[in-house]
Chains A and B, each alone.
Chain A
Amino acid sequence: MAEEGRDSGELVRRARAGDGGAWTELVERYSALLWSIARGHGLRDADCGDVVQITWLRLVERLDALDAPAAVGGWLATTARRESLRQARLGDREAPGPAPDAAGASSAAPVEQVVAGRERLCRVGAALQDLPRRCQHLLRLVALAPGQAELAAALDMPVGSLGPTRVRCLAHLRRRLAP
């Protein structure tokens, strides 16, 4: 994970120098995590897209001033989490009350789309669907975060304190995957 951090720091330094390829690598490394953070706040597709876009634009405006380029992943995750909270509150204001099912379908339970929308569903996808929403989200972030720092930033809690929940969620999943 330390190596991952060094890599990202190097990509930031190259992007600062105008290297578009390095920027694209950063985008590919972290966008799925940022999207998942937004999803975890119950946001719909358009709002998740806005959160991801704003997060990258914020990095662009601070690219030269970023104190710790190697910690860019944690910085991105923190920015996406805060922006998701703001977006969720704006959404509350614009549309009070629960979102209609049609509009909120994809944000409500992404995993269910595997089951509903795809002929060839993988066993893990089906098993994830049976887990409590909190476990789904935690396991998603654990699987997508390149390192512990990103995970801690995405959840806004020390990674150490996640241990028991994570173990319980994994045990849940394993029981459903057991033959």
Chain B
Amino acid sequence: MSGPADEAELAAGIRAAFLAADPVPEGVLAAARAALALRLPGAALAGLAADDASAPAGARATTATRTLTFTGGGVTVELEASGDGEVTGRLTPPSPARVRLRRPAHADRTALADEEGCFALPCVGEGPVSLVVEPPGGDAVVTSWIRL
């Protein structure tokens, strides 16, 4: 009743039961397959260094604004995502740059950071986003994917 063969058979039964009851939707698999096309070789990665959505409920500000910080490639990108879908950001060290917003299955959008490194992207909406920061004459930096 509990030999290795029985164990393997039971595991197969459990796997089949869950795959039948709660399969990964085809759209999710399609998005995963398509993800490879979003690779940006050559861009330095700015990883997520802070996200106030990661704070435990009690330690968090109760405003609708979420603050995220990315660091890497010699740049710090601070983002504020407000409840109405606007994303504002600041580059440190301050520098003008082209800031490209990437979302899977959406056309890219571009904003220009001013001399203070400040930029704004209205109506971003929910879902995975990543920014590509392209300073004039400098190397591109890409922020790690996050879900807004």
Contacts and interface: CB of A to CB of B under 8 A. Distances in A.
Interface of A: 15, 20, 23-24, 27-28, 31-32, 35-36, 39, 45, 48-50, 52-54, 56-65, 83, 85-87, 89-90, 92-93, 106, 110-111, 113-114, 118, 122-125, 128, 139-140, 142-144, 170, 173-174
Contacts of A143: 11-12, 14-15, 18
Contact of B32 (A36, A53, A63, A173): A53
Contacts of A57: 35, 38, 104, 128, 130, 145
A171 B19 CA distance: 22
A39 to B, nearest CB: 6
The secondary structure that dominates the A interface is helix
Interface in B50-97: 51, 53-57, 60
Contact of B17 (A28, A53, A114): A114
6 contacts: A32-B24, A110-B18, A114-B17, A123-B13, A124-B17, A139-B14
B17 A122 contact: yes
B35 A64 contact: no
Interface of B: 1-2, 7, 10-25, 27-29, 31-33, 35-36, 38-41, 45, 51, 53-57, 60, 104, 127-128, 130, 142, 144-147
B45 A61 contact: yes
Nearest to A58: B145
Contacts of B54: 85-86, 89
A144 B19 CA distance: 9
B18 A111 contact: yes
Contacts, number: 141
B53 A124 contact: no
Given A31-B24, A32-B19, A85-B54, 9 more contacts: A31-B32, A50-B128, A86-B51, A86-B54, A93-B53, A110-B22, A122-B17, A125-B20, A125-B21
A20 B36 contact: yes
Contact of A24 (B12, B33, B39): B33
A85 to B, nearest CB: 8
Contacts of A90: 53, 147
B36 A52 contact: no
Most chain A C-beta atoms within 10 Å of own C-beta, residue among B17, B35, B142: B17
B40 to A, nearest CB: 8
Contacts of B41: 64
B57 A52 contact: no
